[in-house]
Amino acid sequence: MAMFDVVTFGSAVIDTFVETEFNEKSNSFSYPAGSKILVNDLKSDIGGGATNTAVAFSRLGLNTGCVCKIGDDNNGLDVLNMFKREKIKFLGSIAQGETGESIILDSKGNGRTVLTFKGPGNSIRLSEIPKIKTKWLYYSSVLGESFKTQVALAKKLKAKIAFNPSEYIIKAMDVRPLLKLTEVLILNKEEAQLLCKKYAPKGVPAKAGKERDLMVCLREFGPKIVVVTDKNKLAYAFDGDKKYSIKPNNVKVVERTGAGDAFASGFVAGVIVGWDMNKCLKLGLKESESVIRYFGAKNKLLRMKLR
């Protein structure tokens, strides 16, 4: 049985970017009802946390597999062809029906609204995953049955876990059993605060306002390394001993979808090959900046061998 460096587990969807002229007003967009709205541009690409990060890892020269669930439609075929092109081993399953899809309503500013159809992505059972050996598992957000399977697989494989939970799974699921098994936890500031507020473990200040308090709080859940990103503000990493940070450069944001996935997979790839924290942060930053300069969550992910 081949040994993977990393197997990603999460969603595989089609991202459709709709470029509109709408402006954000008091945190929302409004579209006139009953009218036909002309859009400036429409682009599609393969997205979803599991495929975005698998492409990042594979392009960095890591032997990569991907657990996700797609439909038996043309979109599902596109996903499988992309895996072949990118030298990623598909370790998931194909369900009857449609592959998941996200409609990303981009506006004039940097705001966007995502309408997301999960498809079969949240119904992955442990029995659907082939026998595998991997050094690392990279978990992006999934709900329901798939989340339970992530926990079960983590226990079964005893691989190291990197976990990038999003707001909706922190709200919907009890992620603590998974955090206990996690080596590297990466999330944005809002997600980090939400997690600490929801559980506030003993001995940790609930306010968790300062970065260090926040990261101390997150480490109490189990992860050895925690990383907190905050858009164009400093990104922090903490290993329980030292705090590291990196300042994002002033880049022109063309389309920000996939920024978080790119940062997280770059950082984790560095950890996988044994780099120090500063070097890992630099690679995360480089990946995310490359992605936000262009449409699509994975088009401009870096191609280079880490070892």
Judged by the rule CB under 6 A, the positions of this chain that interact with ligand ATP are: 188, 229-232, 235, 248, 251, 253, 256, 258-261, 263, 285, 288-289, 292
Question: Judged by CB under 5 A, does residue 47 bind Mg ion?
Answer: no
- The torsion angles phi and psi of 167, rounded to 5 degrees, stand at -50, -45
Question: Judged by CB under 5 A, does residue 260 bind Mg ion?
Answer: yes
Among candidate residues 188, 193, 163, the one with its CA nearest the CA of residue 176: 163
Identity of residue 132 = I
Binding mask 210-249 for Mg ion (x = CB under 5 A): ----------------------------------------
Neighbours of 180 (CB within 10 A): 13
Residue nearest ligand ATP, CB atom distance: 260
Q: How many Å from the N-terminal Cα to the C-terminal Cα in the chain?
A: 22
Sole window of 105-113, 143-151, 213-221, 258-266 interacting with Mg ion (rule: CB under 5 A): 258-266
Q: State the nearest-atom distance from the C-beta of 230 to ligand ATP, in Å.
A: 5
Count of residues that interact with Mg ion, criterion CB under 5 A = 1
106 binds, among ligand ATP, Mg ion, none (CB under 5 to 8 A by kind): none
Query: Which residue lies nearer to ligand ATP by CB, 92 or 284?
Result: 284
Residue nearest Mg ion, CB atom distance: 260
Q: State the nearest-atom distance from the C-beta of 306 to Mg ion, in Å.
A: 22
Integer CA distances (angstroms), 86 to 27, 234, 259, in order: 38, 31, 19
1/301 Cα distance (integer angstroms): 29
106/99 Cα distance (integer angstroms): 22
Neighbours of 303 (CB within 10 A): 9
Residues that bind Mg ion (CB under 5 A): 260
